[in-house]
Amino acid sequence: MSAGATLRTLVSAEKEIMKLSRTDKGAVYEFQHKFRQNPNNPGLHLKQLKGDLKLWSARVSADIRAIMLHIADHEYLLIDVKSRQAVYDDLDRYSYKVNRITGGIEVIDLEPVGDSIIGRLLPPEAEPLFATITDAQLLELGVAEPLLAHVRSVTNDEELLALLELAPQLTTDVLLALYDGKSYDQVRAQVTDPVRAEDQVDPDDLLAALTRPATQVTSADEALQAMLGESFDRWQIFLHPTQRRLVERPTTGATQVGGGPGTGKTIVALHRVAHLAAMLKPGTDKPILLTTFSRNLAADLRTRLIALGGQELLARVDIVNIDKLANQVVTEYKAGYGNQVVDDNQAVDHWRTFLAEIGEKKWEAEFLNAEWVHVILGQVLNSRNDYFTARRPARGRPIVREERDEIWRLTERFTAWLDKQRVWTWRQIAAEAARLEMERAKRIEAGADPTVRHRYRHVVVDEAQDLSAAHWKMLRAMVAVGSDDMFLVGDTHQRIYDNHVTLSNLGIDIRGRSARLTLSYRTTREILAVALEMMTGEVYDDLDGGEDGLAGYRSLLRGGRPVFQGAGTWAQEMAMIAAQLRVWGNPVDGSVAICVPTRDLVAEVTAKLQDDGVQVIEIGPDGPNGGEGVHVGTMHRFKGLEYQRMIIAGVGDGLVPRQMINQYRDVEPKRYQRERQRDRSLLFVAATRARDELAVFWHGTPSPFLTHRLVRQQAA
Ligand SMILES: Nc1ncnc2c1ncn2[C@@H]1O[C@H](COP(=O)(O)OP(=O)(O)OP(=O)(O)O)[C@@H](O)[C@H]1O
């Protein structure tokens, strides 16, 4: 019996496969299966194509041929599928080369490029788009060599787009960045360097090139099956080289991946989980924790992980949102502990009642609650002495030792009082869980009880920007420090809960192991530009005491210009919302959403639209509440969601940012800054949920986060 073969599919071939009819797609699947078993099966008609040693064709069906690169002995790469006739037309059309910068294989079908660009005489007045950059620089940035002449001849947007249709990923990325006005140095640093090969590139060694992250291929049968099926999502199969590198790289310790909205951080986290799971010894336990901030996001991770690896993968992974995890820990130790858990923002009301009951007037409930939440619970302080020496970053006015003493005593009385009411908060649970897990970790380190082990071998965290210090302490204690222990993805520009941490102070050392994704797969360039403009002037942290930015954040998708429009009154603004929905055809398939700053506005928009006969679905804590309709929710609810078209309404002064934060402006300027930044992030999150179209409305004075330029667009 003849030996089997390895057949991988190149990302560009997938585009052609997707264009085929269902029957033909099925034939491709059959073909791949047979080919892998025995490439010399006579039914496959495997043959070398004339004039090129490496190009081979094989029979997929009566009319369709597969075109493959023969890389080495039993190693083939599917680069295209074509009608039988077209295969023999012109083999010179295929250029395949190892890119000298990324080390990945790039296959280009030059024929369509030629149709649209070469052979056309440049009119004398047309200035080439890339006139100021040299050939050497283009090559140094990673532009595919066979396309160099074509790049030179591009004179307008249309020609550029036609070229990019067929260009390899890095060429597309580099040219768009240059077209956006980025300098050679910026493109090199932001686009090229992140995908540069780590080893020496030998352009003749196709075999080495095949395994580099820059060669976007799939080889798994299931992946192919998914691709041919109805519910295929591209992310399940093809990762961007920067994404793949992060997924597969072994790490010596905690690793953090940042990057703007829609850059695939969650996708990377999911693939990382699958990658770690593939390396586990067989078993029935769940040594991998995949966690995130909220309940609906955890549910979403679960759905996507099943899409990626099925029940088999799910069986090895614990997926749970962070507060539920903390609660599980606490209940495990305190079985039957029946306190009711209340929302953290209700705690301040409890403080008020408590202070009134004990006749305490010196301290304000708001201040004590913030001190309790952010300093005492936030840092898991266990004693008065700990509190005396605790740092109080971003807490506004300093307090002296006697005051700390008073506050400590008051919080002790308060927690006892809460306990009597049979109530506690999520923050308390997180602090308690952290304390319990840290004690457990100490017991493990001391080797006191060999039956006690760390709960997990790997911890993967999505939305890392929203976790509190107590959450991090708990997670740190759940996994032994070492290789591949923690993998965190998040974006501080999207922090919408008031949790600020410095990971190195919490035993999580990410120095030298942080990376950033910059290519958005979700939003158009036009939406991205306005979202970035809303962030103007704000400084964000990197979760570890430094600063993070959005430099290099970009998209390859294009769309219409976002709409900015103000109204005189809220009633008029609601009429604008209804009118915009009509323009979009009032779709009820879940592709359109309206986002407003407050719950009251959600209720009012819902009532107005329902009066107009429009079906509406509210987005609750677990996501949209089922059924058909236009989705409506507050900005907080939009984290992790995606819509084709979105309206963000109520973006006026006093609503975005919230009026109430002005009380802190003079008395607690740091807090004021934090709260303002949080509101800005909420707007940023909302704007970056839109994939194709975005409309931003307000009544009265527009939000100060909308720059003059954006507001002026309404007149344009
Ligand atoms: N390699 C890829 N190929 C195709 N689509 C991708 C790829 N990576 C990400 N996407 C798509 O981009 C969108 C955003 O991905 P994802 O949710 O992982 O981004 P994110 O960085 O976590 O976003 P956010 O910060 O806004 O939560 C999704 O629709 C996802 O399917």
Q: Are residues 632 and 693 in the same domain?
A: yes
How far from chain centre, in Å, is Cα 489? 8
Same domain for 301 and 359, yes or no, is no
Ligand 1 atom with least separation from CA of 517: 21
Confidence (pLDDT) at 118: 43
Atom of ligand 1 nearest to the CA of 640: 27
Alpha carbon nearest to ligand 1 atom 5, residue: 235
Q: Hey, what are 210's tokens?
A: 């095949």
Domain check: are 509 and 567 in the same one? no
683 vs 649: CA distance, rounded Å: 10
Spatial CA neighbour of 573 closest among 603, 601, 600, 598: 601
β-strand 105-109 against 94-98: which pairing, if any?
antiparallel
From CA 637, how far away is CA 621, in angstroms rounded? 7
Report whether 653 contacts 701 (CB < 8 A): yes
What is the three-state SS of 270-288? HHHHHHHHHCCCCCCCCCE
Judgement on whether residues 346 and 464 belong to the same structural domain of the protein: no
Annotated binding-site residue? 266? yes
- Any known ligand binding at 552? no
Does the residue 232 lie in any domain? no
CATH of the domain at 659: 3.40.50.300
State yes or no: 265 annotated in a binding site. Answer: yes
Residue 586 lies in a domain: yes
Pair (670, 585) in one structural domain: yes
Question: pTM for the full model?
Answer: 0.84
Asked if the structure places residue 548 within a domain, the reply is: yes
**Ligand 1 centroid to residue 307 C-alpha, Å:** 14
Ligand 1 site residues (CB inside 6 A) read 233-235, 238-240, 243, 259, 261-267, 491, 494, 521-522, 640, 642, 688
What's the rounded Cα separation, in Å, for the pair 365 and 369? 6
Check: CB of residue 594 under 8 Å from CB of residue 631: yes
Domain annotation covers residue 118:
no
- For the stretch 233-252, pLDDT in tens is 777 778 888 898 899 999 99
Residue 590 to residue 587: CA distance in whole angstroms: 7
Cα 584 from chain centre: 27
Same domain, 567 and 703: yes
576 occurs within a structural domain: yes
- Last residue of a domain, which of 368, 394, 421? 421
Q: Report strand pairing: 217-218 vs 288-292.
A: unpaired
CA of 303 to the centre of ligand 1 (A): 14
The answer to whether residue 270 sits within a structural domain is yes
Q: Is residue 193 part of a domain?
A: no
Determine if residue 4 is labeled as part of a ligand binding site.
no
**9 annotated as a binding-site residue:** no
Q: What is the pLDDT of residue 113?
A: 57
Same domain, 567 and 690: yes
640 in a domain, yes or no? yes
Domain count, the chain: 3
Domain check: are 357 and 492 in the same one? no
Q: Which of 421, 441, 465 represents a domain boundary (last residue)? A: 421
Report the residue among 18, 234, 235 best suited for mutation to probe ligand 1: largest number of ligand atoms under 8 A from its CB: 235
Q: What are phi and psi of 530, to 5 degrees?
A: -75, -35
Same domain, 535 and 621: yes
Q: Positive or negative CA dihedral for 679, 681, 685, 688?
A: positive
Q: How far is the CA of 20 from the centre of ligand 1 (A)?
A: 26
Q: Is 559 annotated as a binding residue?
A: no
The residue among 227, 183, 214 whose CA lies nearest residue 97 is 214
Q: In terms of domains, do 485 and 507 share one?
A: yes
Say whether both 489 and 583 belong to one domain.
no
**What residue numbers bound the domain in which 624 lies?**
525-712
Region for 310 from its dihedrals, namely left if φ exceeds 0, alpha if ψ lies in -120 to 50, beta otherwise: left
CA–centroid distance, 563 to ligand 1, in Å, is: 24
Is this complex's ipTM strictly greater than 0.85?
A: yes
Nearest residue (by CA) to ligand 1, atom 29, is 522
pLDDT of residue 55: 86
Rg (CA), the chain: 28
Q: Whose Cα sits closest to atom 26 in ligand 1?
A: 261
Model pLDDT, residue 119: 43
Q: Which region holds residue 635: left if phi is over 0, alpha if psi is between -120 and 50, else beta?
A: alpha
Residues 530 and 614 in one domain: yes
Is residue 259 a known part of a binding site? yes
Beta-carbon contacts of residue 131 (< 8 Å; ≥ 6 apart): none
Chosen domain end from 486, 517, 548 = 517
Under-50 pLDDT residues of the chain:
1, 116-122, 715-716
170 CA from centroid of ligand 1 (Å) = 18
